[in-house]
Amino acid sequence: MNHKTIALIQHPPIVLDTAQSLERAVVLIAEAVAQGAQLIVFPETWLSCYPAWVFGLAGWDDAQAKHWYQKLLADSPVLGAHDDMLDGLAPLRAAAREHKVCVVIGINERARAQGGSLYNSLVTIGDDGCLLNVHRKLTPTHTERNVWAQGDAAGLRVVDTPIGRVGGLVCWEHWHPLARQALHAQDEQIHVAVWPDMPEMHHVAARAYAFEGRCFVLCAGQYLTTADIPRELLDAYCQGAGAEQSADGVLFAGGSGVIGPDGQWLAPPLVGKASIVLATLDLDYVDAQRHDLDVAGHYLRPDIFELRVDRRPRHGIELLDA
């Protein structure tokens, strides 16, 4: 049997402190590996926070919004095209290499060291510490566009890992049918679905993706409380969507879980506590479920439908020197 063990990290980061968040991530990776994990997943923009304040500070020329954007920009790692340039994620790469484990993590990615733009990115690191993929969220939702730029399709890829073919999307990208089909067509076995919060409709989207793609879906949601937010940020943060303060101070309640290729929960959602969610996947079950539905194969109608995906990186400027 083709069994693989995965772990979903439902612990808070150190908000707006990537260096300390990376230290926490390394400890959590070691803890998950000790429990048998071969693939470890962190939620959307876990490094170093989901900027929920954008939904409450969306007015023109808002001084608070500019202040917190500057803080987030300064705290966000820069990624390069080659492994030796990935200084921003060096501790994660080292941990993946040391433990021979694959890591998928959501980050706020700064485009260039002095650049002024951020991406909502999903980074996949191989068990040798090398970068396998960076997917930048294609379309930030609503006032998220005040923080994140639109990504291109360069990272709309499924990659080979020792535990199977792994792809991923960020949050409401799961309602983008063409993005879904682009990954289905790459024979995805394990799909990483990262979110800030996990209300019912997010679980609906994740279960539909699993059934449609006949793949395992790993739902990773944030767990965050008022105690995790810097005091000076708390009021602005609590104005954000999904950050409705409960009586016990929980802002994001998690909801991480694992769905099988039949759309049923393999590990039901864990709500209301910081923890590591573990599950064992039988990848042979993916092939069995594709007997009656393969949307990129025998259920496809290439004679009447055609999808073209341009995965060339987009830089927006070409500098020609002598």
Is 137 noted as a catalytic residue in this protein? Answer: yes
Looking at CATH, the fold of the domain delimited by 3-289 is given as Nitrilase/N-carbamoyl-D-aminoacid amidohydrolase (3.60.110)
> Active site residue: 4, 44, 49, 144, which one?
44
> pLDDT tens string for the chain (322 positions)?
789 999 999 999 999 999 999 999 999 999 999 999 999 999 999 998 999 999 888 889 999 999 999 999 999 999 864 444 447 899 999 999 999 999 999 999 998 889 999 999 999 999 999 999 999 999 999 999 999 999 999 999 999 999 999 999 999 999 999 999 999 999 999 999 999 999 999 999 999 999 999 999 999 999 999 999 999 998 888 877 554 556 678 999 999 999 999 999 999 999 999 999 999 999 999 999 999 999 999 999 999 999 999 999 888 888 899 8
What values do phi and psi take at 299, rounded to 5?
-100, 5
> Active site residue: 49, 109, 137, 173, which one?
137
Q: CA-CA distances (angstroms) from residue 119 to 50, 170, 199, 276?
A: 12, 11, 24, 26
Q: What pLDDT is recorded for position 85?
A: 46
Q: Would you list the DSSP string of 29-66?
A: HHHHHHTT-SEEE--TTTBT---GGGGT--STT-HHHH
Sequence ranges of the domains in the chain: 3-289
Is 4 noted as a catalytic residue in this protein? Answer: no
> Are the C-beta atoms of residues 238 and 203 closer than 8 Å to each other?
no
Is 44 noted as a catalytic residue in this protein? Answer: yes
What is the distance, to the nearest Å, from the Cα of residue 301 to the centroid of all Cα atoms in its chain? 31
pTM reported for the whole predicted model: 0.95
Give which of 220, 217, 201 is closest to 209, Cα–Cα: 217
> Active site residue: 49, 102, 109, 171, which one?
171
Q: CA-CA distances (angstroms) from residue 246 to 46, 73, 225, 235, 240?
A: 21, 29, 9, 14, 14
